[in-house]
Amino acid sequence: MSTGFRARVLVAEDEEFTLNLLREVLEGANFQVEAVKSVAEAIERIGSFDPHAVITDLNFGVTGPSGADLLQFIEKEHPWVGKVVLTSHASPALAIPNGVEIPAGVTYLVKSEMSAITDLVSAVEDSISHSSDQHPRPEMENDRIVISATQGEILLLLAEGYTNAAIARKRGTSLRATETLVQRTFASLGIKSDEDFNPRVLAVRLWQQGKVVVK
């Protein structure tokens, strides 16, 4: 059976060996990967690639924007995206330079402790599940609700009758990450938890009535 949708991960790392290793491992774990060598490239690509998560180093040399700048940009412009920081320090506190602010909800991955593929995959999935803004504010365009491409994927699969477990298998992500994305999609559609109504039915009805647009 085709794996269908795959979670997308944008990797920003200026060391070519590490960048290629991360790309190889993630693609082997069924992620769709976009690999870049600078923060400027990451910022340029993030809009069109629409990643579920971003992996970044903090140090990109003495000139140009840093990984912290990238994280702040993501937090402001794409708050639903999971954030993973690669670091050589055993303590996240040591990885962050004095005076630099890192957004909440960041998952830290120590390079020396990345002994197995599952460590990297778990870090990515955790970042998706715990991204700092789990309920982005619904946006409207011509009386239609605007949702992200990722949420559009989820809504389409819901309309096709897939369960959360089936969506997780089809997209190559964990059940926990999928459940979070489903709930986030409901929130973006303005659907609140209510024991009297089935949120899946309401979400699919909005989709079928043409009241949703994917951006």
Domains and CATH numbers, the chain: 8-129 (3.40.50.2300), 139-214 (1.10.10.10)
Give the predicted TM-score (pTM) of the model: 0.61
Residue 186's pLDDT band, with cuts at 50, 70 and 90, is: confident
Task: Specify the DSSP element, H or E, that contains 23.
Answer: helix 16-28
Question: Which of these ranges, 28-37, 133-142, 177-186, 188-197, has the smallest mean pLDDT?
Answer: 133-142
Q: Please check whether residue 43 is in contact with residue 81, taking contact to mean a CB–CB distance below 8 angstroms.
A: no
Residue 92's pLDDT band, with cuts at 50, 70 and 90, is: low
Encoding tokens for residue 121? 């995959």
Contacts of 108 (CB under 8 A, 6+ apart): 84, 85, 87, 92, 95
Query: Tell me, what's the pLDDT at 27?
Result: 92
Query: Tell me, what's the pLDDT at 137?
Result: 47
Is 133's pLDDT higher than 90? no
Q: Determine the average pLDDT of the residues in 9-33.
A: 91
Query: Tell me, what's the pLDDT at 135?
Result: 41
Q: What's the mean pLDDT when you consider all of the chain?
A: 81
Is 157's pLDDT higher than 90? yes
Q: Determine the average pLDDT of the residues in 93-104.
A: 68
